Amino acid sequence: MFAFRVLDRSGVPAYLQLVDQVRRGLLLGHLQEGDQLPTVRAVASAVVINPNTVAKAYRELEHAGLAVARAGQGTFVTGNIEQVPAATYARLSGRLRQWFADAREAGLAPEQVRAMVDAVMDDERRRETA
């Protein structure tokens, strides 16, 4: 069963964090079509948020065509998204993890590492919109 991460205080709404995690799971192949998501009440009690907040996330997923809810049964993800090929994923994620390891090795604090990633990603985003 898919497990949601504990929510932080980043300012990102909880329901959006849940949506993003499911979307990410699908993109990276951690979730496959037909997989069942934890029930609304299970997520609510596990992550300690209101069931309505979870329900809102699931509604959002259904609206985006990424999941289907069946009363009495649960919520199941659909494959309406382009997954990253497993081989590509393995290769690139490995290199990325290596980069993080090297950054730690170089003595960078987590905050500094995050700053670098954010800075480069900002540039990437700028490139997309350009």
Residues 56-95 binding a second copy (CB under 8 A) are 82, 84, 88-89, 92-93, 95
Which residue in 11, 95, 127, 129 binds DNA (CB under 7 A)? 11
H-run or E-run covering 119: helix 110-129
Query: What is the rounded CA–CA span in Å between residue 45 and residue 77?
Result: 21
Give the shortest CB-26-to-a second copy separation in angstroms: 9
CA distance linking residue 39 with residue 92, whole number of Å: 32
Query: What does the angle CA 85 – CA 97 – CA 128 come to, to the nearest 5 degrees?
Result: 60
Residues in contact with a second copy by CB under 8 A are 5, 10-13, 16, 20, 23-24, 27-28, 82, 84, 88-89, 92-93, 95-97, 99-100, 102-103, 106-125, 128
